[in-house]
């Protein structure tokens, strides 16, 4: 402090009052020099308002009106950025196009945003290339390439926030972002075999299970739901139903079969995704087909009379042992066993 009336003859003394006077700040009464007694923290208190007086030592009266002044605490970069909302978790559909926004991460810095670069942050990717990118100024994470959930369904991305716009002396912090890929129906079902062999006894009743076929779909949930069908002429003999729990196709007998009449059947089974995603139809139909060959097994059937009933006559008084008539029966099996 310096008063125009100070003649440097030791007649004036300077007095300091206000915030922190005598504790944080003290003044040399003779020279007017103000000193600070301790370290100051701008984030705790950015400025102090003080008042100064120049007093005549003889009269103890002020030689000019009291004046007010402000001591500002200038910021230095003494605060690291902080991610207050982490850890972050985000979910994005697989095969999302490049540039799709995933999530925004934000760091805060306790330094002065209006002074210098101490609180100016830049975001960068420490881990996550080449699948993701981050906008340096906003912290928005974006897809950098199309990704397939069936290849990998979860990624750990590490984002760094650096103050001082990344210049020397910058402080930094990191945040982990867990990014999950949600499923879309981008895979058709596929039969495990191109050809199935099954057999059924000619004794089997209508509704009996002939066998099972299974198609795999690498999608999950309703995107993997499928329905089975039988195509062609033999759909009147066999039927197929879908087991929604196991996703198997169960082939059932719709009409009884006869070994002596037909011993082999060939049917075509088809599987189709129940819910189709139109975006992938150009890659081909979301279905698959397989051939099922079914052998009819012989069963030992009882003999069959040639007639359901016979009418015979015999003359009264005929002798014991006389021929009354003849009944005939045959074995319907292929080996025609004697009856």
Provide, rounded to the nearest whole percent, the portion of the chain with pLDDT above 90.
73
- State the pLDDT confidence band at 86, using cuts at 50, 70 and 90: confident
Whole-angstrom distance, CA of residue 286 vs CA of residue 291 = 18
Single out the residue of 239, 161, 245 nearest to residue 200, CA to CA.
Answer: 239
Residue 313 lies in a domain: no
Both 247 and 221 in a single domain? yes
Between 237 and 336, the higher pLDDT residue: 237
Distances (CA, A) of 276 to 8, 53, 69, 285, 287: 95, 85, 75, 9, 10
Both 286 and 205 in a single domain? yes
287-322 pLDDT, tens digit each? 999 999 999 998 888 899 999 999 999 999 999 999
pTM of this structure? 0.70
Residue 339 lies in a domain: no
Between 213 and 285, the higher pLDDT residue: 213
Question: Which among 147, 162, 182 is the end of a domain?
Answer: 182
Both 229 and 169 in a single domain? no
Whole-angstrom distance, CA of residue 274 vs CA of residue 312 = 66
Q: ∠ CA 227-232-234 to the nearest 5 degrees?
A: 95
**pLDDT above 80: residue 243:** yes
Both 206 and 263 in a single domain? yes
Q: What pLDDT, on the 0 to 100 scale, is given for residue 262?
A: 92
Domain encompassing residue 126 = 88-182
**Residues 6+ positions from 22 with CB-CB distance below 8 Å:** 16
- State the pLDDT confidence band at 283, using cuts at 50, 70 and 90: low
Task: Read off the CATH number of the domain in which 36 is found.
Answer: 2.60.40.60
Single out the residue of 155, 97, 95 nearest to residue 128, CA to CA.
Answer: 155
- State the pLDDT confidence band at 6, using cuts at 50, 70 and 90: confident
């Amino acid at each position: 402090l310096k008063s125009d009336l100070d003649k440097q003859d030791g007649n004036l003394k300077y007095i300091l009052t206000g915030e922190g006077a005598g504790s944080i700040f003290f003044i040399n009464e003779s020279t007017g020099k103000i000193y600070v007694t301790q370290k100051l923290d701008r984030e705790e208190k950015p400025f102090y308002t003080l008042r100064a007086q120049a007093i005549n030592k003889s009269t103890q009266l002020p030689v000019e009106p009291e004046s007010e002044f402000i001591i500002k605490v200038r910021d230095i970069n003494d605060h690291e950025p902080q991610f207050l909302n982490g850890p972050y978790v985000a979910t994005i559909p697989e095969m999302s196009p490049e540039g799709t926004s995933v999530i925004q991460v934000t760091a805060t810095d306790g330094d002065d945003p209006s002074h210098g670069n101490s609180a100016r942050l830049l975001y960068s990717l420490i881990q996550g290339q080449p699948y993701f990118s981050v906008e340096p100024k906003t912290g928005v994470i974006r897809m950098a390439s199309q990704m397939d959930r069936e290849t990998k369904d979860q990624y750990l991305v590490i984002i760094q926030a650096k103050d001082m716009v990344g210049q020397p002396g910058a402080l930094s912090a990191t945040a982990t972002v867990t990014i999950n890929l949600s499923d879309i129906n981008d895979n058709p079902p596929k039969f495990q075999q191109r050809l199935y062999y099954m057999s059924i006894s000619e004794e089997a009743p209508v509704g009996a299970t002939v066998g099972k076929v299974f198609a795999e779909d690498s999608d999950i949930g309703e995107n993997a739901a499928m329905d089975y069908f039988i195509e062609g002429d033999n759909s009147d003999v066999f039927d197929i139903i879908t087991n929604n729990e196991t996703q198997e196709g169960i082939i059932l007998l719709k009409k009884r079969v006869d070994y002596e009449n037909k011993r082999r059947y060939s049917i075509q089974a088809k599987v189709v995704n129940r819910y189709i995603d139109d975006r992938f139809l150009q890659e081909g139909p979301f279905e698959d087909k397989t051939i099922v060959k079914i052998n009819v097994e012989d069963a030992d059937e009882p003999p069959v009379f040639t007639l359901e009933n016979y009418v015979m006559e015999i003359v009264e008084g005929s002798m014991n042992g006389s021929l009354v008539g003849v009944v005939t029966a045959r074995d319907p099996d292929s080996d025609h066993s004697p009856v």
